[in-house]
Amino acid sequence: MTTATPTFPDTIFDTRESHVRSYSRAWPAVFDTAEGSWITDRDGNRYLDFFAGAGALNYGHNNPILREALVDYLTSGRITHSLDMSTVAKGELLETFQDVILRPRGFDYKVQFPGPTGTNTVEAALKLARKVTGRESIINFTNAFHGMTLGSLSVTGNSMKRAGAGIPLVHATPMPFDNYFGGVVEDFQWFERVLDDSGSGLNRPAAVIVETVQGEGGVNVARPEWLRALADLCTRREILLIVDDVQMGCGRTGPFFSFEVAGIEPDIVTLSKSIGGYGMPLALTLFKPKLDVWGAGEHNGTFRGNNPAFVTAKVALDHYWSDDALERSTLAKGERIAARFQALVAEFPTQISTRGRGLVQGLAFTEPDLAGRVCSAAYSDGLLAETSGPEDEVVKLLPPLTITEAEIDLGLDILEAATRKAVAR
């Protein structure tokens, strides 16, 4: 790997890039090369990456299998940009998605290509639900995160992000996510009650949008039985169920779709982040065929046809999802992290708790500031991990699914040392 010689002053990011930048504040290194679970800055310092592009790099940085397919494609004069024209690369992806992902699971979803980001697929899902039902309101959950455009923000919990909208965010009603009341209150009692009560003030919703594990919200894991009860309630009341699998899909929690653990079949599913396979921008909106009521061009976007991403997406599906090896190894690696986290909790039972599923694992701190301190100490020792949760009180681990056990152990050694240092202060 070659490292480029910088031709810019060190100050360029401060002087020219907007204040809106955020990760570069926590990790001020100037990154240049990356491979697998490692990312290297321009001075040659290596960092173990337990962040993986916020879940966009499930198959690691510069995965050689995907890179080879991408380079072959790019150097053979094939089409790069195609809006929603039919192309060979798109046809091959659709066929593979059908044969490798949908059919083995018994799912029949139509596939929409919205713009290539997570928030684009969420917007498409919300619009479609409203068009199908003729209703406008959406039920979302406490601490949900669905993206930064106005529709997605309206179903997002975080008050700082919501405030950035600058206009009222309407037509969404938050309900408590699983375990919001510490398991004390029966979760759906209130939801069912207000749906039934014509005096409750709740407009009949078009859809419920839910993450099975809230990544940005603090690694809050919904129990399979809670998800099943939610799906059942939606079916009984003819409300569409949207599972936002932008962060937890593509194997993050073990199975390809994070909701497989609950045995449910949502009406609409959103995918982005790792579906492109190589950190390539791509998003899909999946829905049951009877919901495909779109008129031609009724929802569009210039970058729907990112053909290089179709190529890496197809190869990733073929290579990693033709059998259950990746799912099994993700679950085993998740247990490896969870066991080490549980030992840490035993050491500091009043300061820390842990939660997660597969390779999304969180360490939650009673004193919120500690999570940030742990992440900055870990960064100094060569590990990238970010905080999440309403008060940034959770250290969230999202390593590539392709990480080795030795790399997991090394990263956990750094994290444990950082935790002991932070808690002992």
- Looking at 211, 267, 393, 416, which residue binds ligand PLP (CB under 6 A)? 211
CA distance 336 to 333: 5
* Residue 151: alpha-carbon gap to chain centroid: 17
Angle at 236 between CA 234 and CA 240, to 5 degrees: 30
> How far apart are CB 4 and ligand PLP at their closest, in Å?
27
The alpha helices in 80-215, defined as continuous H runs, are 88-96, 103-105, 118-133, 150-154, 159-163, 189-196
Strand order, beta sheet including 138-141: 110-112, 284-287, 268-271, 240-244, 207-210, 138-141, 172-175
- Read off the tokens for 171: 């037509």
CA distance 293 to 287: 10
Mark 59-76 as b/e (b = at least 16 C-beta within 10 Å).
bbbbbebbeebbeebeee
User: Which CB, 34 or 246, lies closer to ligand PLP?
Assistant: 246
- Please state whether beta strands 46-49 and 213-214 pair in parallel, antiparallel, or not at all (unpaired): unpaired
User: Which CB, 101 or 144, lies closer to ligand PLP?
Assistant: 144
- Read off the tokens for 257: 């779709």
- Read off the tokens for 192: 């069912």
Examine residue 219 and tell whether it contacts ligand PLP (CB under 6 A).
no
> How far apart are CB 20 and ligand PLP at their closest, in Å?
13
- Looking at 34, 48, 89, 122, which residue binds ligand PLP (CB under 6 A)? 122
> How far apart are CB 117 and ligand PLP at their closest, in Å?
4
The site for ligand PLP, by CB under 6 A, has a size of 15
Examine residue 216 and tell whether it contacts ligand PLP (CB under 6 A).
yes
- Looking at 96, 117, 220, 306, which residue binds ligand PLP (CB under 6 A)? 117
Examine residue 249 and tell whether it contacts ligand PLP (CB under 6 A).
no
Examine residue 220 and tell whether it contacts ligand PLP (CB under 6 A).
no
Q: Binding segment for ligand PLP among 145-153, 166-174, 200-208, 356-364 (CB under 6 A)?
A: 145-153
> How far apart are CB 120 and ligand PLP at their closest, in Å?
7
User: Which CB, 143 or 272, lies closer to ligand PLP?
Assistant: 272
- Contact call for residues 56 and 273 (beta carbons, < 8 A): yes
> How far apart are CB 401 and ligand PLP at their closest, in Å?
16
- Looking at 145, 177, 320, 341, which residue binds ligand PLP (CB under 6 A)? 145
Q: Binding segment for ligand PLP among 73-81, 200-208, 243-251, 305-313 (CB under 6 A)?
A: 243-251
Angle between helices 88-96 and 307-321 (to 10 degrees): 30
Examine residue 156 and tell whether it contacts ligand PLP (CB under 6 A).
no
User: Which CB, 122 or 313, lies closer to ligand PLP?
Assistant: 122
CA distance 276 to 313: 4
> How far apart are CB 67 and ligand PLP at their closest, in Å?
22
Examine residue 244 and tell whether it contacts ligand PLP (CB under 6 A).
yes
Examine residue 246 and tell whether it contacts ligand PLP (CB under 6 A).
yes
> How far apart are CB 177 and ligand PLP at their closest, in Å?
13
User: Which CB, 398 or 412, lies closer to ligand PLP?
Assistant: 398
Task: State the DSSP code for 61.
Answer: B
Q: Binding segment for ligand PLP among 143-151, 168-176, 376-384, 387-395 (CB under 6 A)?
A: 143-151
Examine residue 247 and tell whether it contacts ligand PLP (CB under 6 A).
yes
> How far apart are CB 99 and ligand PLP at their closest, in Å?
26
Q: Binding segment for ligand PLP among 106-114, 209-217, 365-373, 393-401 (CB under 6 A)?
A: 209-217
- Please state whether beta strands 284-287 and 110-112 pair in parallel, antiparallel, or not at all (unpaired): antiparallel
Examine residue 146 and tell whether it contacts ligand PLP (CB under 6 A).
yes
Q: Binding segment for ligand PLP among 126-134, 208-216, 255-263, 406-414 (CB under 6 A)?
A: 208-216
CA distance 326 to 4: 34
Phi, psi of 316 (to 5 degrees): -60, -40
Q: Which amino acid is at 83?
A: L
Examine residue 385 and tell whether it contacts ligand PLP (CB under 6 A).
no
Task: State the DSSP code for 36.
Answer: B
- Contact call for residues 172 and 209 (beta carbons, < 8 A): no
- Contact call for residues 37 and 403 (beta carbons, < 8 A): yes
> How far apart are CB 393 and ligand PLP at their closest, in Å?
18
Q: Which amino acid is at 189?
A: Q
Q: Exposed, middle or buried by CB within 10 Å (0-12, 13-18, 19+), for 4?
A: exposed
Examine residue 255 and tell whether it contacts ligand PLP (CB under 6 A).
no
Binding site for ligand PLP (CB under 6 A): 54, 117-119, 122, 145-147, 211, 215-216, 244, 246-247, 272
